């Protein structure tokens, strides 16, 4: 049993809402990977009504089978674990594409298990990630606009 389970529901809901911010790093079991597994990811954008979140994965290494070209490899931002408490080892942020998630689903996961929030990107890292995402040819311009990467 975790300490979070003893807090009132209103506290857990407030904590979940506060951590649904751009730059939050979470560690959750996801089913959109092969095989499904627990993954770290970063919230990088919200749509205008806040119902959907754009996220990117943090990976241990670059998957050479999917990211075979130098251009695709360049869209992976290396993050050293030193100074980043949410990392266990040096990793890569995959800035080639968004993974779009429902806000309610993530909010419920945080509310039920507050420990899934494992950190927050510093401003410098968040800017670097956003710049890579803006330059990704794999992300459609309309999706970049939808999640706040371009002005309307």
As a whole number, mean pLDDT of residues 13-42 equals 92
User: What distance in Å separates the CA atoms of residue 80 and residue 88, rounded to the nearest whole number?
Assistant: 9
* CATH no. of 3-146: 2.30.30.110
**pLDDT tens, 109-130?**
999 999 999 999 999 999 999 9
User: Does position 3 have pLDDT exceeding 70, yes or no?
Assistant: no
User: Does position 138 have pLDDT exceeding 80, yes or no?
Assistant: yes
User: Which DSSP string do the residues of 81-105 spell out, in sequence order?
Assistant: STT-TT-SS-EEEE-S--EEEEHHH
- pLDDT the model gives residue 151: 62
**Quick check: 114 and 12 in contact, CB under 8 A?**
yes
| Domain ranges (residues) in the chain | 3-146
- pLDDT the model gives residue 11: 80
**Quick check: 103 and 52 in contact, CB under 8 A?**
yes
């Amino acid at each position: 049993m975790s300490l979070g389970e003893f807090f009132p529901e209103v506290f857990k809901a407030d904590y979940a809402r506060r951590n649904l911010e751009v730059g939050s790093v979470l560690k959750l079991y996801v089913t959109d990977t092969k095989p499904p597994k627990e993954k770290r990811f970063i919230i990088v954008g919200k749509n205008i009504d806040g119902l959907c979140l754009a996220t990117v994965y943090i990976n241990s290494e670059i998957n050479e089978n999917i990211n075979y070209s130098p251009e695709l490899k360049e869209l992976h931002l290396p993050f050293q674990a030193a100074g980043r408490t949410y990392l266990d080892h040096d990793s890569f942020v995959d800035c080639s594409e968004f993974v779009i998630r429902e806000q309610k689903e993530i909010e419920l996961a945080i509310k039920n298990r507050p420990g899934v929030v494992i950190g927050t990107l510093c401003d410098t890292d968040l800017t670097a990630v956003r710049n890579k995402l803006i330059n990704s040819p794999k992300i459609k311009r309309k999706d970049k606009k939808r999640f706040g990467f371009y002005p309307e």
